[in-house]
Structure 1
């Protein structure tokens, strides 16, 4: 059994499906996950822009590999850090190679990054997904994410995208629930207007944490 040619300690091992989960190795993995991103996404990321995802937060980037070392999935994470504000984790990209989809690889990567971001003192985690990608939205909602706002023409294809957020700390959940309820009421009162609150969840989280 080849547990990869890197010295990165595994975060998890699926012996039945022979899949290994670990943090990214910049030297060994960067080119390979960049190639996989081109297989999985229509958006053409340049290597420079892709490096901005991987190079800034390598400890928040994960890969799934076979025991022989083939990368079959990856998750690129990051964090929003502003002075005086709570730390918000970000899932920038999640991809699984087509033959390995619907086998729980993406869900395992998400579980691992949520544990890591919680240990990194993130109070919540954000991600974006296409408006019509209902399958991904359903998966994220099962983890507890909810839709924060709709962004028009978010992707280069001009497709709209949802920003979704997941509270990680108990004292942030009431704040997230409150803004969701307010947005639902806003949608009922103004059905012809896309709900886009000027007050962000991050602002509410900051206010709530400071008051505790």
Structure 2
């Protein structure tokens, strides 16, 4: 059997009308690689509302090779924030640019819908994931101690899509040092 060839893949947008066909394969692929045990309701939450931001890589037999699941909504910081919730590629197909292609498709779709920024979390020990996202322009913005159910720590990564986005909303969201609070005479204790 020859090695898999990423040039033969098709990249398609998720279509909710085909949930019965794709959802079991998506769940199986993601559950192999991600440390969180997501319920069917979590998948449906993303796929029902933001299926147009979710993409799949299919081989020439229309088998699922990779998937990215995202959302886009207003954030309390005042930004219109995209979020990459899940990304997985079958192990035999890794290292061929499939994850990069899926992320670029999601970035392009969120950019077209006027996203200000895109965020995600990944385990601090997941060097392949960190390299992928940082190569695409994502920056480490926060360390999240014991973020995952398995107790592992995560980095929050952010990709600013519009100039000035980093200055919107709460600087705490990006793990920037806050200026010291110095009480005035009226506020003295």
- Tell me, which stretches of 5 or more residues in structure 2 are unaligned? 175-189
User: What TM-score, normalized by structure 1, do the two folds share?
Assistant: 0.72
Q: What CA distance in whole angstroms lies between the structure 1 residues aligned with 2:138 and 2:119?
A: 8
Could you give the per-residue CA deviations for residues 92-140 of structure 1, whole angstroms, max 9, x where no partner exists? 0100011111010000001111111110100111010001112211111
Question: RMSD of the alignment, in Å?
Answer: 2.4
The answer to whether the aligner puts 1:19 opposite 2:24 as a matched pair is no
User: What TM-score, normalized by structure 2, do the two folds share?
Assistant: 0.80
Structure-1 residue corresponding to 2:62: 69
Could you give the per-residue CA deviations for residues 26-78 of structure 1, whole angstroms, max 9, x where no partner exists? 22322211121122234322212222222221111110001220010000010
Structure-1 residue corresponding to 2:187: none
The answer to whether the aligner puts 1:80 opposite 2:70 as a matched pair is no
Superposition map of 1:98-109 within 5 A: 98-109=91-102
> How many residues are aligned here?
167
Could you give the per-residue CA deviations for residues 151-182 of structure 1, whole angstroms, max 9, x where no partner exists? 11110101011110001123436x49xxxxxx
Q: What CA distance in whole angstroms lies between the structure 2 residues aligned with 1:92 and 1:151?
A: 16
- Tell me, which stretches of 5 or more residues in structure 1 are unaligned? 1-14, 177-196, 202-212
Greater RCO structure (CA 8 Å; 6+ sep): 2
